């Protein structure tokens, strides 16, 4: 298993090195601080992918905030999205609050759109979205992020919280899966 995972990484293409990743986090921090420093937002991390991004972003935000999480995903062991699976629903504390929804990537946008709609239906006052990366797709997405650290090509990317088949979330850089591994 470890040999297969290491071979997958060896075939992958480096998209963003650690310095570029850190610069992207700082860009989001600056923009979020400018928009939310006078409010006390409820920051909701979208598990599991956002854990690395949120873990680096939160200590940089120098204003009071509350923190919680949601867990909804369209991805299982493969590299293609499917039906939305809610593991942890939106918290009741979202009612009347300004929410900062933090996620690793805005891919097709279906998951973030569903979470945003669920938060608004639960009575959230406003929902702003911060993503580490926005994938450049040649089609319209159902949602846009308010704060974006960087953009990535329309390929399967992993690292810095984003996984490939459950692996490599822990990388400090972002890689694109080799075409022969994208199945």
The pTM of this model reads 0.90
pLDDT confidence bin for 76, thresholds 50/70/90: low
User: Beta strand 126-135 with 98-106: parallel, antiparallel or unpaired?
Assistant: parallel
Instruction: Give the HSE-up count for residue 134: Cα atoms under 13 Å, Cβ half-sphere.
Output: 17
Q: Which residues are catalytic?
A: 107
Reported as type and span, the H/E element at residue 157 is strand 157-158
Say which CATH architecture domain 2-181 belongs to.
3-Layer(aba) Sandwich (3.40)
pLDDT confidence bin for 113, thresholds 50/70/90: very high
Residue pLDDT, tens place only, 14-68: 999 999 999 999 999 999 999 999 999 999 999 888 999 999 999 999 999 999 9
Q: Does residue 172 contact residue 18 with C-beta atoms inside 8 Å?
A: yes
Which stretches within the chain are classed as H helix?
Answer: 2-11, 18-36, 51-57, 110-121
How many CB atoms within 10 Å of residue 183? Answer: 9
As a residue count, the chain comes to 183
Domain ranges of the chain: 2-181
Hey, what are 23's tokens?
């610069």
Residue 142's nearest CA partner among 113, 120, 118 is: 113
Residue pLDDT, tens place only, 115-133: 999 999 999 999 999 999 9
């Amino acid at each position: 298993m470890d040999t297969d995972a290491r071979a997958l990484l060896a075939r992958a293409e480096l998209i963003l090195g650690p310095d570029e990743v850190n610069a992207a986090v700082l860009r989001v921090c600056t923009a979020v601080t400018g928009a939310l420093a006078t409010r006390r937002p409820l920051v909701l991390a979208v598990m599991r992918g956002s854990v690395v991004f949120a873990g680096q972003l939160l200590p940089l935000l120098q204003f009071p905030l509350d923190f919680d999480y949601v867990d909804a995903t369209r991805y299982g062991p493969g590299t293609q999205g499917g039906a939305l699976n809610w593991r942890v629903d939106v918290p009741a504390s979202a009612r009347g609050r300004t929410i900062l929804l933090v996620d690793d990537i805005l891919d097709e946008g279906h998951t973030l759109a569903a979470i945003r709609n669920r938060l608004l239906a639960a009575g959230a006052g406003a929902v702003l979205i911060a993503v580490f990366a926005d994938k450049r797709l040649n089609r319209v997405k159902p949602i846009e992020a308010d704060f974006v650290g960087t953009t990535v090509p329309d390929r399967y990317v992993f690292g810095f919280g984003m996984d490939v088949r459950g692996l490599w979330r822990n990388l400090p850089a972002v890689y694109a899966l080799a075409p022969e591994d994208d199945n």
